[in-house]
Structure 1
Amino acid sequence: MISMVVFSSTLLYSCEDYLVKYPLDQPSDATFWSTESELQMAINSVYRSLYFTDRATTHVPFQFLFDFATDISWDRNLSVWQLLGQGQVTSVEPTLIFGAWSNAYVNIGNCNRLLAYMHKAENVTNADTFKRIEAEARFFRAYWYGWLINLYGDVPFTTDPLDVFDAGLPQTDKETIYHFVMEELELAGDMLPEEYPSSDRGRITKGAAWALKARLALFNNDWEIAAEASGKVMALGKYELYSNFDELFTYEGQNNSEELLTIQFSRANQLTHETPIHTRGRLTGGFATKIPTQALIDSYASIDGLSINESPLYDPKNPFENRDPRLNATCVVPGSIFLGYQFETHPDSLQVWDYNQNPPKRIDNQEVINPYATFSGYQYRKYVSSDEREFRRESELNIMLIRYAEILLIYAESHIELGQVDNTVYEAINSVRERAGIPGIEQGKSLEELRQIVRQERKVEFAYEGLRFFDIRRWEIAEDVLSGPLYGRPLGEYKSNHIPEFDENGTPVYEAYAGELRVFDTRIYNPSKDKLLPIPQRELDINSNLTQNPGY
Structure 2
Amino acid sequence: MKTKLYSMLLVLFLVSACTDLNLNPLSEGSSESWYSDQTEIEMALNDLYRDPFWPTDADDWSDDWTYRGQTNAITDATITGEWSTVISWWANTYKAVARATTLIENLEEVTDEIPEDKLTQYKADARFVRASQYARLVAHWGDVVYYNNTLELEESFTKATTDKATILATIYEDYDYAAANLPEEYGNSENLRATKGAALAMKARIALYMGDYALARDAAKDCMELGAYELYDDFGALFLSSTKNSVETIFAIPRSVELDVAFWDCKNYISRNSGGWGAKDPSWELFSAFYCTDGLPIDESPLYNPREPFNNRDPRCSATIVEFQTEHLGYMYQPHPDSTTCYSFKTGAYVKNNDNRVNAQYASYNGLLWKKGVDEDWSDDYKSDPDKIIMRYADVLLMYAEAKIELGEIDDSVLDAMNQVRARAYGVAVGETSSYPAVTTTSQEDLRQILRIERRMEFALEGRRYMDIIRWKLAEKVLNIPNYGMLDPVELKEKVVDADLWFFPETPVLDEDGVADFEPMYNAGLIKLLGLRTFDKSKQYLWPIPSKEILINENLTQNPGY
**With structure 2 as the length reference, what TM-score do the two structures score?**
0.87
Q: Give the whole-Å Cα distance in 2 for the aligned partners of 1:124 and 1:289.
A: 56
The one-letter amino acid of 2:308's match is N
Q: Which of 505, 519, 525 is equivalent to 2:513?
A: 505
What displacement does 1:371 show?
A: 3.9
Residue range with higher mean Cα deviation, 337-346 or 406-415: 337-346
Partner of 1:474: 471
Q: Does 1:381 align with 2:371?
A: yes
Q: Aligned to 1:262, what secondary structure does the other structure show?
A: strand
Paired residues in the alignment total: 519
What displacement does 1:333 show?
A: 3.6
Residue range with higher mean Cα deviation, 274-283 or 295-304: 274-283
The one-letter amino acid of 1:523's match is R
The structure-2 alpha-carbon separation of the partners of 1:197 and 1:450, relative to structure 1 and needing over 3 Å to count, comes to same
8 Å Cα contact 2:51-2:253 kept in structure 1: no
Q: Which of 109, 117, 120 is equivalent to 2:109?
A: 120
Q: Give the whole-Å Cα distance in 1 for the aligned partners of 2:240 and 2:189.
A: 21
Partner of 1:63: 56
The structure-2 alpha-carbon separation of the partners of 1:299 and 1:201, relative to structure 1 and needing over 3 Å to count, comes to farther
Q: Does 1:45 align with 2:38?
A: no
Partner of 1:464: 461
The one-letter amino acid of 1:73's match is W
The structure-2 alpha-carbon separation of the partners of 1:312 and 1:103, relative to structure 1 and needing over 3 Å to count, comes to same
The structure-2 alpha-carbon separation of the partners of 1:420 and 1:163, relative to structure 1 and needing over 3 Å to count, comes to same
8 Å Cα contact 2:30-2:98 kept in structure 1: no
What displacement does 1:511 show?
A: 2.9
Partner of 2:176: 186
8 Å Cα contact 2:279-2:364 kept in structure 1: yes
Q: Does 1:141 align with 2:130?
A: yes
Q: Which of 223, 226, 235 is equivalent to 1:245?
A: 235
Partner of 1:432: 421
Q: Aligned to 2:381, what secondary structure does the other structure show?
A: coil
What displacement does 1:263 show?
A: 1.1
Partner of 1:259: 249
8 Å Cα contact 2:309-2:504 kept in structure 1: no
Q: Deviations over 1:223-275 (max 9, x none)?
A: 10010000001110111111111111114433211101111112344322224
Q: Give the whole-Å Cα distance in 1 for the aligned partners of 2:551 and 2:27.
A: 19
Q: Deviations over 1:152-205 (max 9, x none)?
A: 111111111234332121111111111111111111111101111234464211
8 Å Cα contact 1:115-1:137 kept in structure 2: yes
The structure-2 alpha-carbon separation of the partners of 1:346 and 1:130, relative to structure 1 and needing over 3 Å to count, comes to same
The structure-2 alpha-carbon separation of the partners of 1:402 and 1:107, relative to structure 1 and needing over 3 Å to count, comes to same
Q: Which of 323, 336, 340 is equivalent to 2:330?
A: 340
Q: Could you tell me which runs of 5 or more consecutive residues in structure 1 were left unpaired when the two chains were aligned.
A: 12-27, 53-61
Q: Does 1:129 align with 2:118?
A: yes
The structure-2 alpha-carbon separation of the partners of 1:9 and 1:529, relative to structure 1 and needing over 3 Å to count, comes to closer
Q: Which of 398, 401, 405 is equivalent to 1:409?
A: 398
Q: Give the whole-Å Cα distance in 1 for the aligned partners of 2:422 and 2:76.
A: 33
Q: Give the whole-Å Cα distance in 2 for the aligned partners of 1:196 and 1:123.
A: 23
The one-letter amino acid of 1:380's match is W
What displacement does 1:483 show?
A: 1.7
What displacement does 1:216 show?
A: 0.5
What root-mean-square deviation, in Å, do the aligned CA atoms of Structure 1 and Structure 2 show? 2.3
Q: Does 1:82 align with 2:79?
A: no
Q: Give the whole-Å Cα distance in 2 for the aligned partners of 1:281 and 1:549.
A: 41
The one-letter amino acid of 1:189's match is A
Q: Deviations over 1:278-328 (max 9, x none)?
A: 321322222334321000011111122221122222221111122111011
8 Å Cα contact 1:294-1:489 kept in structure 2: no
Q: Does 1:315 align with 2:305?
A: yes
The structure-2 alpha-carbon separation of the partners of 1:202 and 1:528, relative to structure 1 and needing over 3 Å to count, comes to same
Q: Deviations over 1:391-421 (max 9, x none)?
A: 323x222121111111111111110111111
The structure-2 alpha-carbon separation of the partners of 1:169 and 1:49, relative to structure 1 and needing over 3 Å to count, comes to farther
The structure-2 alpha-carbon separation of the partners of 1:281 and 1:497, relative to structure 1 and needing over 3 Å to count, comes to closer
Partner of 2:141: 152
The one-letter amino acid of 1:434's match is A
Partner of 2:429: none
The one-letter amino acid of 2:398's match is L
Partner of 1:103: 92
Q: Which of 435, 447, 450 is equivalent to 2:447?
A: 450
Q: Does 1:35 align with 2:37?
A: yes
The one-letter amino acid of 1:472's match is I
Q: Aligned to 2:291, what secondary structure does the other structure show?
A: coil
8 Å Cα contact 1:202-1:262 kept in structure 2: no
Q: Give the whole-Å Cα distance in 2 for the aligned partners of 1:122 and 1:138.
A: 21
8 Å Cα contact 1:112-1:159 kept in structure 2: yes
8 Å Cα contact 1:431-1:440 kept in structure 2: no
The structure-2 alpha-carbon separation of the partners of 1:154 and 1:8, relative to structure 1 and needing over 3 Å to count, comes to closer
The one-letter amino acid of 2:35's match is W
What displacement does 1:346 show?
A: 2.9
Q: Aligned to 2:403, what secondary structure does the other structure show?
A: helix
Q: Could you tell me which runs of 5 or more consecutive residues in structure 2 were left unpaired when the two chains were aligned.
A: 1-20, 427-434
Q: Aligned to 1:260, what secondary structure does the other structure show?
A: strand
The one-letter amino acid of 2:126's match is A
What displacement does 1:537 show?
A: 0.8
Q: Give the whole-Å Cα distance in 2 for the aligned partners of 1:460 and 1:298.
A: 10
Partner of 1:73: 65
What displacement does 1:337 show?
A: 1.8
8 Å Cα contact 1:308-1:314 kept in structure 2: yes
Q: Give the whole-Å Cα distance in 2 for the aligned partners of 1:3 and 1:154.
A: 24
The structure-2 alpha-carbon separation of the partners of 1:129 and 1:8, relative to structure 1 and needing over 3 Å to count, comes to farther
Q: Give the whole-Å Cα distance in 1 for the aligned partners of 2:117 and 2:257.
A: 30
- Percent of matched pairs sharing the same residue: 35
Partner of 2:261: 271
Partner of 1:365: 354
The structure-2 alpha-carbon separation of the partners of 1:422 and 1:168, relative to structure 1 and needing over 3 Å to count, comes to same
Partner of 2:81: 91
Residue range with higher mean Cα deviation, 263-272 or 102-111: 263-272
Residue range with higher mean Cα deviation, 446-455 or 245-254: 245-254
